[in-house]
Amino acid sequence: MNKWVQKSIDFTNAPGYLDRLTEIYPAIPTQRPPLPQSVKDKIEELIITNNSLEAIKLLVNLKGYPFPLEHPYVPLLRAYPKLLEQNPNVVEQIGQILVSLGPAGAIEGCERPPDLNRQMGQRFKNWLRRHFTPRGYKFLPEHVFSNYQGKAFLDAGDTAITKYANKNLGCQITRGRDFLFRVKDKFVIGEARFLSDSGGSQRRDVRETIDFAKDVMGNIIKIAVLDGAPWFDNSMLSVIQSLEDDEPALSALLLEDFLESLR
């Protein structure tokens, strides 16, 4: 079994694993700012008068705020506004739910905190910079990163990392990755996932991440950085344990140890 997998199994089953993991993935809700009073007044007016079409138009176009209720058709209405005019029955159904919520309930729904699980990827990236910068690791723009021989991360978003890896390293990555690190002539491309349960979609995500780590390319190391359920769910763990020595998967809490081992 891959030694980093074994180290992670030992580490994640030791006391305090989740306590330490909160350094990377803090479970603290982010608060949204209150809606402007003028918007609140308009929501109240439209709901009280049962103006479903205009209420939905207003709510789907609020920048930085979610629709006040979960509904399978709302994302379609937001992406394709013409559907609002073409589907009066759906508009009426959603409008009746808004009426049942009342203006206060609708406003509260818009101002609810973001889903913590959807923030975990950005929290990992924030931790990378916070943790590694004081330890002498650089975060460099592409033109500097390409010629740097020390310990450095490419200072770029998911899409830019993928483009760089495909163009300059000969990779064939089809979607964004979370970090690209180099030390001398070695490169590490990493995908980080925190999974809080072991449902069907979560298992698929683990398999996709593991498949990524299995694509070995010499001095270009592809690594699966996994935390949470994968280390405790037997089905997911068996997939991770199948990795070979040159196919690393590990907890983010061991990432620094792994990168240091490349020097």
Tokens, residue 91: 């508009």
**Residue 112: how many other CB atoms lie within 10 Å:** 13
Q: Are 107 and 68 in contact (CB under 8 A)?
A: yes
Detail the DSSP E strand segments found in the chain: 138-140, 152-154, 179-183, 186-195, 220-228, 249-250
Shortest CA distance to 173 belongs to which of 184, 187, 159? 159
Provide the whole-model pTM.
0.73
According to DSSP, the residues that pair with 189 across neighbouring strands are 180, 222
Q: 249-250 and 220-228 as β-strands: parallel, antiparallel, unpaired? A: parallel
Say yes or no to pLDDT of 229 above 80.
yes
Q: Are 113 and 29 in contact (CB under 8 A)?
A: yes
Give me the mean pLDDT over the 244-256 stretch.
Answer: 94
pLDDT of residue 218: 81
